[in-house]
């Protein structure tokens, strides 16, 4: 009976420790540069197979925008970023969903204007 209680408590605790798809995506986004000139902001969902140390063993895209060739190029870049950002601390061993989306965060600095030191 004690063994059953320990296994049951581990099952209850494990989902709370796992990272959400958005949290995993935020880590991957740190290694990804969004391509310039996209007609639509990217939004991608991947299934990623993680090993016990948070390393990436395999990746499959579930959905992506923009569609077409532009979207496929974005998926390839994001997939490489997912691999490069490993290991993922808090990623569960096995298949986990990773969500990468891009939202503009204000106006970027224009590097072509003169610098105003005031």
Neighbouring C-alpha atoms within 13 Å toward the C-beta of 85 = 22
The band of 7, judged by pLDDT with boundaries at 50, 70 and 90, is very low
Residues 80-117 have pLDDT tens digits of 999 999 999 889 999 999 999 877 666 667 788 888 77
Q: Give which of 39, 51, 38, 31 is closest to 94, Cα–Cα.
A: 51
pTM comes to: 0.71
- Domains by residue range for the chain, with CATH: 19-33+42-101 (3.30.1150.10)
> Residue 71: in which H helix or E strand, if any?
helix 68-84
Q: Which residues contact 66 (CB under 8 A, 6 or more apart)?
A: 38, 39, 40, 42, 74
Q: Give which of 78, 11, 15, 71 is closest to 38, Cα–Cα.
A: 71
Residues 29-80 have pLDDT tens digits of 888 888 888 888 899 999 999 999 999 999 999 999 999 999 999 999 999 9
Looking at residue 12, what is its pLDDT?
31
């Amino acid at each position: 009976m004690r063994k059953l209680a320990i296994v049951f408590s581990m099952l209850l605790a494990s989902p709370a420790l796992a990272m959400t798809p958005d949290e995993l995506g935020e880590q991957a986004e740190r290694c990804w540069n969004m391509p310039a000139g996209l007609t639509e902001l990217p939004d991608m969902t991947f299934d990623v197979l993680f090993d016990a140390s948070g390393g990436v063993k395999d990746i499959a895209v579930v959905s992506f925008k923009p569609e077409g060739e532009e979207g496929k190029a974005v998926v390839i870049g994001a997939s490489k970023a997912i691999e490069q950002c490993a290991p993922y601390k808090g990623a569960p061993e096995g298949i986990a969903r990773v969500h990468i989306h891009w939202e503009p965060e204000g106006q970027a600095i224009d590097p072509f204007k003169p610098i105003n030191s005031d």
